[in-house]
Structure 1
């Protein structure tokens, strides 16, 4: 298995510098492919505007027009996220207005799933809306192999993730759920995916023809779920990763990460043994007036079906 992973790493791991912008533009024109970028956003007024501005300025205008459609999907923000994104030039869609016959569930995966209904690109690129010091390389990097390699269907970004604001904080310390849970689980149960540097990263791109065939976990398990299901759907050689540098974003506290880890584990467990389900709750403790007090949270268990099975999506394709 190690030899297979090492072989995959040598063939399917690249740097953003491996594909210059002019090469990507030429490949895009030759293939006739269209590219949609989706930013799932919840209370990200501080960062979403800069991300939108960079994509519009560097990837939708000027000499390297790689992106045809830029959509921010607001999942119920209480701040000015939608206003800021719109002012910066994005088309803003609201989660609850997409497929309104189906009440929305809370969670990132829900937003990504619904975004397929309001985008049309042959390639769909997801970018988290909380990134700081955003570079167009994030999009250029993960879209590149999908424009130049016909047999690649799914591409993850890889990067350093400093935990604090300086390099001294540790380049690899920002992916705590990845290192403590996701990487061990993948290595033990799906060892062919052991070569992915950032399996839970929120920046990845895929062909619509693949995404519309995959189920989407509604919560934080979506990244692991899509990666595992893509492996089983198209095979390891159709998956790739690209080094895009450094990812800086806000970090969640330990308890929030615990809830995220529970959702990720639940997603893995569902794929390992759908006939043997675990109890979908997580109890954590907070110190209160009477000492440590338990707080119990539900673990995301819902998954949305492949978008290709949704009547409204099928009708849009016919139209």
Structure 2
């Protein structure tokens, strides 16, 4: 007795596809053999023999195509699958014909389970990014506004002002961290809507913010602009990428200057210190900032090169599709 697999009220016979194909080809071979023997003994004219062989071959092809139809249907469903738009229920084994082979039913059941997990993952991603965007940004905005109000208080002592600056710096860093984590968490729409922006303008804003955060430290931030160009993409992703590189450079420069340079098709962030900054080796683990920058560069196809040859302490981001700046 042949093995069977049961899915709900539908039973699928194991090996049914192979048996039916074997019957089709066996009958084809028998029919062709009979016709050939009749032609060899002059029991049928040659045109009739050829016609029968053609007809039998065509019928065999039609029967094989009919048996292959469930596989073609399943392949079409997979090729037309759109995450978030297609219904995983279309892959349920119960929707297959009861004549479907058990192996194909097992494949459909596995694809249905996989599609259901992907749909659940997408829903959890959307719920997380929506909730995190609201529940994290709102208290951070309140903290930042309160710190700004405390900064204007004239009765604060010097130690109190230093504490307020540290809170302000930590709040801005946490805002940037939340921003980058939300960008990387959104798989379907990373970084928001694409738009055209001038790289130099965004870098000036980021450096101005970084100068506020680095106030009171011996690190100086400088922007060099031998070139100007624009990009079409996510401004938020570019801002976070540059901020992570600047932040990493400031953490590794105890004193001196951190220079951000705009080249014709790239930007570099380098240390300009009196002491030599040791370049990281290939096997050394990246810092959190560089790891985040690497993930953003991979997501948006902006190649990131760390420590260019001959220039230790340099991070370079290349942009393959630059645009001219409108005058």
TM-score range, shorter chain: under 0.3
Q: State the TM-score, normalizing by the size of structure 1.
A: 0.21
Which of structures 1 and 2 has the bigger CA Rg? 2
Of structures 1 and 2, the one with the larger relative CO (CA 8 A, separation 6+) is 1
